[in-house]
Structure 1
Amino acid sequence: MEDSIDRHIAHWSRELADLDPDVEGAITRMQTLVALLRRRREAALKARRLKGWEYDILWRLRSTGPPYQATPTWLAQALGAHPATLTSRLDRMEEAGHLTRAHDPSDRRRLLVALTDQGHAAWEGAIGDQAAAEHELLAPLTDNERAQLAGLLRKVVTAAETDGPPLMPPVERP
């Protein structure tokens, strides 16, 4: 069975004599599938009237575990955002009803950002859309093939992480 990547490889094999078709095929397929998932994510977020940065803030807050709250400083660091940018974004999300900001009862100098029920619902809907798109993408594979694919990709990620930081930073509680 041939796909569009096979045609890409056939073309470039004529142009580049030392092209490794297996490496080119694997990398190009991964890049293409990531781009497809990104487009589906953007469409799902748009349908839910969420921007990518809004989803990222909801995701970070949800990742903290109950009671799903964090300081703005922690959020800015976790998201790699400038504090002023984050403040503006939190203003908009608070107006939309996705989160609240309140002083920490144990230290009134600290501000805490917390998910609202609406914020939880928005995140759960968006993550549900993503899960559906991911399951749809891998539907042609059997359970064993999905496990094999996950194992092979784990092997590649483990090797890539050997000389550097984790590709997926750990979720840390604030």
Structure 2
Amino acid sequence: MEDEVDRLVAAWRRERPDLDVEPLEVLSRVSRLARHLDRARRTAFAEHGLEPWEFDVLTALRRAGDPYQLSPGQLLTQTLVTSGTMTNRIDRLTTKGLVVRLPDPDDRRGVLVRLTDAGRDKADQALAGLLAHEREILARLAPAQRGELASLLRQLVIPFDRAGG
């Protein structure tokens, strides 16, 4: 079975036989899969009335466990956005009734962001929807293949995670 990457690699091998284009065979597929996954995720989130960034913030709070709250700084660390962007996001989620700001009892100048019941329900529903979409994508592989792929991808990702990027 031939895919678009096979055709791309064959064309480069014909046009530039002096280059080793083997990395394209793996990484172009990863890139293409990432685009398809991004579309599936956007669809899953839209089905629950969320934007991807809203899902990221709500699920960061949900993963924190009861009482489902974090400081804005902790949210910055988990979502990799700037302070100004996070402030805007918290404002928008507050307007939607999905989070509330509370005074930080340990820091008179600080605040905590907490999921509302509606925010927790929205996060839970969107996560279940996302997992259903992602299971469909992975259904093409046997369970052992999924485990092997996860292990191989982990080996590629760990150096980037350790470097902070």
Q: Is the 8 A contact 1:58 1:123 kept in 2?
A: yes
| 1:1-174 superposed matches below 5 A | 1-20=1-20, 22-105=22-105, 108-158=108-158, 161=159, 165-166=161-162
Question: Greater CA deviation, 112-121 or 59-68?
Answer: 59-68
* Partner SS for 1:112: strand
Runs of 4+ in 1 over 6 A off after TM superposition: none
Q: Is the 8 A contact 1:55 1:123 kept in 2?
A: yes
* Partner SS for 1:65: coil
The aligned amino acid for 1:88 is N
Compute the displacement of 1:135 (Å). 1.5
Q: Is the 8 A contact 2:70 2:113 kept in 1?
A: yes
Aligned length: 165
Deviations 1:91-139 (A, max 9, x none): 2211211111122346554322101121112212222222222221121
Q: Is the 8 A contact 1:44 1:129 kept in 2?
A: yes
Q: Is the 8 A contact 1:157 1:167 kept in 2?
A: no
Compute the displacement of 1:13 (Å). 1.5
Unaligned runs of 5+ in 2: none
Name the CA distance, whole Å, in 2 between partners of 1:5 and 1:36: 14
Question: Greater CA deviation, 104-113 or 141-150?
Answer: 104-113
* Partner SS for 2:54: helix
Taking a change above 3 Å as real, the CA distance of residues 167 and 61 of structure 1, as seen in their structure-2 partners, is farther
Name the CA distance, whole Å, in 1 between partners of 2:25 and 2:47: 33
Name the CA distance, whole Å, in 1 between partners of 2:120 and 2:28: 36
Name the CA distance, whole Å, in 2 between partners of 1:25 and 1:133: 25
Root-mean-square deviation (CA, aligned residues, Å) is 2.4
Q: Is the 8 A contact 1:70 1:113 kept in 2?
A: yes
Compute the displacement of 1:30 (Å). 0.7
The aligned amino acid for 1:147 is G
Unaligned runs of 5+ in 1: 170-174
Q: Is the 8 A contact 2:100 2:115 kept in 1?
A: yes
Deviations 1:122-157 (A, max 9, x none): 212222222222221121211122222222223333
The aligned amino acid for 1:3 is D
